[in-house]
Amino acid sequence: MSASPSLRILPLILLALWSLTGCLLVSGEATALDVQEGAGNLVTHFVGAEGLGERVVALDSPATDVRVIAIVAVESGDLELSFLQPDGAVAFVLVARPGAEVTRSGVVRTDAAGLLRYRLNAYGARNGSMQLFVQP
């Protein structure tokens, strides 16, 4: 007795859904990055963003605590910015809502390769921006 066609397709559907998790789509993105001796500035503007994704800034300062000042804003939708410690724990989070610029600061540790890791989570975010200022 063979499985019905719908049961045979189910694993493929589940695999496709699993592969879409952790996907961040950003349109109209313009980014400027300036990094010098473990410090830096990152400014990003975008037209639209949807999904979840992790990004890094290479600071070339392995396993170092850095002070991060972050500013996020969106015209519509929601944008969440989370800074990650090397073990994956969240150091601090900012959540931008329409029409309000949000600023927070905190200390984040770079990983063994000198990377500052952060996660973006966007829900229908439109005409947004993100600024990061990193100091040793």
Q: Output the domain CATH number for residue 51.
A: 2.60.120
Within a domain: 1: no
**Predicted pLDDT at 38:** 83
> Per residue in 19-52, pLDDT tens?
445 799 999 999 999 999 889 999 999 999 999 9
- Cα separation of 128 and 23, whole Å? 18
Within a domain: 16: no
> Per residue in 65-111, pLDDT tens?
999 999 999 999 999 999 999 999 999 999 999 989 999 999 999 99
Within a domain: 99: yes
Question: In the chain, which ranges are E strands?
Answer: 24-27, 30-36, 39-58, 65-73, 76-84, 90-96, 102-109, 115-135
**Predicted pLDDT at 46:** 98
Within a domain: 112: yes
Confidence check: pLDDT of 9 > 80: no
How much is the average pLDDT of 128-136? 97
Helical residues (DSSP H) of the chain, grouped into ranges: 5-20
**Predicted pLDDT at 37:** 83
Confidence check: pLDDT of 14 > 60: no
Full residue range of the structural domain in which residue 129 is found: 25-135
- Cα separation of 119 and 87, whole Å? 14
CB 67 within 8 A of CB 51: no
Q: Give Cβ neighbours of residue 124 (< 8 Å, ≥ 6 apart).
A: 50, 76, 77, 78
CA–CA distance from 83 to each of 12, 20, 32, 108 (Å)? 34, 22, 19, 7
How much is the average pLDDT of 8-28? 67
- Give how many domains the chain has, as a whole number: 1
CB 60 within 8 A of CB 114: yes
Within a domain: 13: no
> Per residue in 119-128, pLDDT tens?
999 999 999 9
